[in-house]
Homo-oligomer: A and B are copies of this chain.
């Protein structure tokens, strides 16, 4: 048990904290709002914080620029992008279009057995989340099971669309500071039931190979979230 080789047996998950890991940590910190909009990210400071040299930090920063989370000015450095509220709303509109296209493509191209299994499983999870919500439902607890299953469902459709570009676009639209978007997950239990029903309809449309119908349903499904966001903004903005 105490063999030296044994100690290094499973370093695959933590031990090689390669540069990519730094990008992950920074991304999480930014999306969680730990760095405010416009905050400057200093290479030297980050190096010390992470206990590595500037080189991997630079790599991580450049990666995050590519993900549109940071902005870069030559000789000035990297700063957290400031999103106007209108841009966040636009992101949801763009996302609705892109996910609609994903659903359409999935319906056109058909589902592989693996895709179908994925979607069925997440639909079952969603049904489970909703009945659970109806019973206990301390509101807080509801979100996680639903959100997780919801994300699985959408991801499965992206895979089924089989178009990396479309997936990339959706990812781009999703990578928006959640400081505001957190608030809009204020679904009441009855609304939740509607959302789950929509998922089922989308699934059926894809299974029965109705591309335009699948696209329309997915678009409307995403629009619900966008409208909720606009509503919240109108309230807090007044």
The 10 closest A-B pairs by CB, nearest first: A66-B66, A90-B163, A62-B62, A97-B97, A91-B165, A169-B169, A90-B165, A87-B165, A87-B163, A94-B166
Residue ID in chain B nearest A65 by CB atoms = B66
In the complex, A67 has a CB within 8 A of chain B: yes
CB distance from A179 to the nearest CB of B (A): 16
In the complex, A164 has a CB within 8 A of chain B: yes
Tallying the copies of this chain within the complex gives 2
In the complex, A38 has a CB within 8 A of chain B: no
Residue ID in chain B nearest A95 by CB atoms = B165
- Chain B hits for A20, CB < 8 A: 74
In the complex, A98 has a CB within 8 A of chain B: yes
Report A45-81 residues with CB < 8 Å from chain B CB.
Answer: 55, 58-59, 62-63, 65-68, 74
Measured CA separation A130–B162 after assembly (Å): 39
**B18 close to A74 (CB less than 8 A):** yes
Measured CA separation A67–B63 after assembly (Å): 10
- Chain B hits for A105, CB < 8 A: 90
- Chain B hits for A58, CB < 8 A: 59
In the complex, A220 has a CB within 8 A of chain B: no
In the complex, A129 has a CB within 8 A of chain B: no
